[in-house]
């Protein structure tokens, strides 16, 4: 199947950001699938492109995007070239960006706006859950190694130091960059704490949901997904044995094939999307 790829479409969010679309020509309108990356992630990380191709080849209009403040830039979509933007990121901006993506692509002539699925990885899973609880145009939800809470901040003296200093740094293990986190991130969360309550949002969701987690996830414990499965009424949980947080993918991913664990996860996704 010949896939159409539209790369680096510029969208207007809290600041300009980029999105990709992958789909095939069809006489029928295609269900829309939007992938939401996680913390220190981006649309071209690892094997996400291969994932998009596999899903699009099954008759879906697949979209992936960079959050406006994920640290990438329009000129460098696959590098953390704008650490100032990274430091200014917060959940409100991510929610706004995701709404922008949904509104932009659901109006494409190739898209069936009555069928919209969010696939959220890691922190993007939590963002997708909240968006699915708020936006009634979302008809299905998939989470990959999702967190069950967005309250993932320093505590005690570390929180006091963050407030007093106004910032702290986290080293990116791959690039060795010192990535800033400004205190405004925590303030945004506290000011919107009820909105960003993943448990409360999960219990509002009545659309079908597929929850996928790896048994060997080193970043987000499996019990996060187990809690989500309990909270979301119409949901099922799939465990990928021996899969880590990124289901075997890494950056860069130089193979033309998907890692085995990610391929298994995507096959679960495709079966779910087709039912």
Q: How many domains does the chain have?
A: 1
Report the pLDDT value the prediction gives residue 114, as an integer from 0 to 100: 98
List of the chain residues with pLDDT < 70: none
What CATH number does residue 218 fall under? 3.40.50.1820
Structure tokens at 167: 């910032």
Non-local (6+) Cβ contacts of 265 within 8 A are 144, 212, 238, 240, 243, 247
Please answer whether residues 228 and 221 qualify as being in contact, where contact means their C-beta atoms are separated by less than 8 angstroms.
no
Please answer whether residues 247 and 144 qualify as being in contact, where contact means their C-beta atoms are separated by less than 8 angstroms.
yes
Please answer whether residues 208 and 271 qualify as being in contact, where contact means their C-beta atoms are separated by less than 8 angstroms.
no
Report the pLDDT value the prediction gives residue 9, as an integer from 0 to 100: 98
In a domain, 186, yes or no: no
In a domain, 183, yes or no: no
Structure tokens at 81: 């070239």
Write the DSSP symbol of residue 231. H
Residue with the two structure tokens 């044995």: 241
Non-local (6+) Cβ contacts of 208 within 8 A are 139, 140, 141, 234, 235, 272, 275
In a domain, 171, yes or no: no
Q: Give the residue numbers spanning the domain of 217.
A: 3-152+195-274
> 167-171 and 140-144 as β-strands: parallel, antiparallel, unpaired?
unpaired
Structure tokens at 152: 């993932």
Q: In what order do the strands lie in the sheet with 61-65?
A: 3-12, 16-24, 61-65, 30-36, 111-121, 140-144, 209-214, 235-240
In a domain, 46, yes or no: yes
Report the pLDDT value the prediction gives residue 13, as an integer from 0 to 100: 85
CA 8, chain centre distance (Å): 17
Structure tokens at 211: 């929850």
Q: How many CB atoms lie within 10 A of CB 251?
A: 16
Entry pTM: 0.98
In a domain, 158, yes or no: no
What is the three-class DSSP state of 13?
Answer: coil
Tally: H helices and E strands in the chain: 9, 10
In a domain, 161, yes or no: no
> 30-36 and 3-12 as β-strands: parallel, antiparallel, unpaired?
unpaired
Q: What is d(CA 56, CA 262) in angstroms, rounded to the nearest whole number? A: 16
At 191-246, the pLDDT tens digits run 999 999 999 999 999 999 999 999 999 999 999 999 999 999 999 999 999 999 99
């Amino acid at each position: 199947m010949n896939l159409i790829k539209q790369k680096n479409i510029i969208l207007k969010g809290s600041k300009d950001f980029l999105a990709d679309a992958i789909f095939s020509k069809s006489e029928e309108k295609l269900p829309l699938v939007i992938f939401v990356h996680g913390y220190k992630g981006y649309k071209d990380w690892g094997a996400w492109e291969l994932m998009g191709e596999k899903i699009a080849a099954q008759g879906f209009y697949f979209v992936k995007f960079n959050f406006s403040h994920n640290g990438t830039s329009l000129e460098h979509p696959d590098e953390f070239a704008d650490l100032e933007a990274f430091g200014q990121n917060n959940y409100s901006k991510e929610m706004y960006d995701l709404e922008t993506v949904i509104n932009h692509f659901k109006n494409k002539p190739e898209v069936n706006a009555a069928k919209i699925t969010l696939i959220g990885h890691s922190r993007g899973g939590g963002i997708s859950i909240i968006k699915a609880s708020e936006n009634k145009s979302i008809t299905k939800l998939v989470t990959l190694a999702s967190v069950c809470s967005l309250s993932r901040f320093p505590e005690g003296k570390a929180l006091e130091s963050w407030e007093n200093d106004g910032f702290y740094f986290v080293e990116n293990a791959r690039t060795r960059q010192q990535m800033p986190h400004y205190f405004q991130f925590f303030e945004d969360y506290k000011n919107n704490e009820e909105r960003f309550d993943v448990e409360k949002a999960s219990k509002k969701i009545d659309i079908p949901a597929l929850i996928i987690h790896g048994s060997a996830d080193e970043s987000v414990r499996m019990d996060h997904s187990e809690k989500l499965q309990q909270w979301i009424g119409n949901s099922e949980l799939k465990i990928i044995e021996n899969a880590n947080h990124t289901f075997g993918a890494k950056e860069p991913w130089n193979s033309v094939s998907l890692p085995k664990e990610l391929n298994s996860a995507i096959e679960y996704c495709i079966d779910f999307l087709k039912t």
